[in-house]
Amino acid sequence: MLESLKDIRSMKDIRAEKARLRYEALIAETKMMESFRAVERMFTFFSGVRRVSGALVYAFGVMSKVGSFLGRIFGKSKKEAPDQEEDTTAYY
């Protein structure tokens, strides 16, 4: 930057230097905003994936509880054994 200041001889040179500095500042700002947008898109993507996976885990948990509830209502009880006959002794 000091090298460019050595070439200033008139007001016209000062105006040209100011315009060049503004241009460089705009380019730097544009690159910085592009980086911020890229980071924002990345976080948006990951937060969306995290929300979907959380919803799936929640849905599987609910379905598991509903399934166990329905199994207790309509399923066979553990105390009852299907078609068990009592052992009787036949006396002939």
Query: How many domains in the chain?
Result: 1
Q: What phi and psi, each to the nearest 5 degrees, are found at residue 35?
A: -65, -45
List CB contacts of 4: < 8 A, sequence separation 6 or more: 17, 20
Q: Which DSSP string corresponds to 47-85?
A: HHHHHHHHHHHHHHHHHHHHHHHHHHHHSPPSSPPTTPP
Any domain includes 86: no
**Residues 27-33: contacts with CB within 8 Å, 24+ apart?**
none
pTM over 0.75: no
Any domain includes 17: yes
The 10s digit of each residue's pLDDT in 9-33 is: 889 989 999 999 999 999 999 999 9
The 10s digit of each residue's pLDDT in 33-88 is: 999 998 888 888 888 888 899 999 999 999 999 999 888 888 765 555 555 556 66
Q: Which domain holds residue 61?
A: 2-72
